[in-house]
Chains A and B, each alone.
Chain A
Amino acid sequence: MSTITIHSISDQDLVQKYIIGHEPSLEELIRRHKAKIYTSIYLLVKDSYLAEDIFQETFIKVINTLKAGKYNEEGKFLPWVIRIAHNLVIDHFRKEKRKPVVTTVDGFDIFEVIKFYDDSTEEKIIREQTHKDLRELIHHLPSDQKEVLIMRHFGELSFKEISDITGVSINTALGRMRYALNNLRKMMLTKELSLKNI
C-alpha cells in the first residue's frame, strides 16, 4: 500500500494537483516556502506589515495565475514566486518614489525572539548581539548586492535564476554576491565582529 504523503510530493506535482482543484496542495506549497519568500520580502522592505501585504499580494497573483491555467510548467515554482515577489517590491518602491534605503530599526525587532537555550547566558548574549549586528550590516549593503544575497540564500536561487529575475548577466549577479560578501567581511572587521561568535 502506498504511503506517499503530501509532504513528499514535488512542487511541480503539487502545482498540477492544485490546478485540477486539490486545494490542500496550495496550503502545502505555502507551508513549504513561506519562510523563504516572506523573509526575502521582509529583508528588502524592512517593514513587517508591508512584507505581509506583499507576501499576500504575491500569492494572490500565484493563485490567479494557476487557476487561470497560465502557469509555465517549465519553470521551477520557488524562483517563479520569488520573481513575482521581487517585482511587487520594485513596484512598491516605484510607487513610493524611493529606493530601498537603510534605516535604523526602531521599535520591536521581530528577530529578537530567537532563542538559544543550549548556550550559557554570556554566549547567548554575545551570539544574539553578533547576529543583530550582522543583520544591520546586511541592511547597509547596496540594494543590488543585498538583493542577490537574499535571493541566493533565502530563495535558494542559482545565479542564472537571479540573473533572469533581475535582468543582469550571470557574471554581474555573481559579482554582486562577491561584492556583498566582501563588503560584509570589511564591515565586520571595522565593527570588530568575529565569525566565531556566529
Chain B
Amino acid sequence: MIEISTPKTHSLQQTAVNKDIHTEDLNEEDQSFYTAIKPCLNAMATNPSQDTISNLVNYSKSI
C-alpha cells in the first residue's frame, strides 16, 4: 500500500493562507451594519463633469 502524507511545511503554509483569507472578513455584526448602510453609500456616488471626461479623451488623442 502506498501511503501518502502531507509534508508538514505544506500544512503550515496552508494554515497561513487560510488565516489570511479569514482575516479579510468582517464579523457578522459589522457586515450586517455595513450591508444596512450600503444603500446610503451608493446614493453618495456621483460623477465627474462631462467636460472633464471630454478633456481626457481629447488629451489621449493628442499625444
Contact = CB atoms under 8 A, between A and B. Distances in A.
A181 B56 contact: no
Contacts of B39: 198
Contacts of B23: 159, 170-171, 174
Given A23-B61, A26-B57, A52-B52, A38 B47 contact: yes
**Majority SS at the chain A contact face:** helix
Nearest to A154: B45
Interface residues of A, number: 44
Contacts, number: 96
Nearest to B36: A195
A35 B34 CA distance: 20
Interface in A140-184: 153-154, 158-160, 170-171, 174, 177-178, 181-182, 184
Interface in B22-54: 23-24, 26-27, 30, 33-34, 36-41, 43-49, 52-53
Contacts of B45: 35-36, 39, 154
Contacts of A184: 33, 37
B30 A182 contact: yes
Contacts of A178: 26-27, 30
Given A30-B56, A111-B43, A185 B48 contact: no
B63 interface: yes
Given A55-B52, A158-B24, A195-B36, A63 B46 contact: no
A27 interface: yes
A111 B40 CA distance: 11
Contacts of A38: 46-48
Contacts of B36: 195, 198
B47 to A, nearest CB: 5
